[in-house]
Amino acid sequence: MKAKVHVTLKNGVLDPQGKAVEHALDSLGFSGVDAVRQGKYIEIDLADGDKAEAEKNVEEMCKKLLANTVIENYRFEIE
């Protein structure tokens, strides 16, 4: 099984890296970009055969390590 985890900053949290990308795109001639928010994408190969157990474990991984739940949102899918 594989877990695909997406971590993004919550709305209202300043995103200086996203702002830098936005300015860089503008300087490259992409003037139609209104805003950029950046995040993380993480793939985890899991040995679990039980999807419910895998979801429980990945949820715990996100809360304990992969995302700072004070300022970040996360979502994941198990394949």
Q: What pLDDT score was predicted for residue 11?
A: 94
Q: Using an 8 Å Cβ cutoff, are 18 and 79 in contact?
A: no
Q: Does domain 2-78 have CATH number 3.30.1280.10?
A: yes
CA distance 22 to 66: 25
* In the chain, domain spans: 2-78
Q: What pLDDT score was predicted for residue 48?
A: 66
Question: What is the reported pTM?
Answer: 0.87
- Where the chain has pLDDT below 50, the residues are none
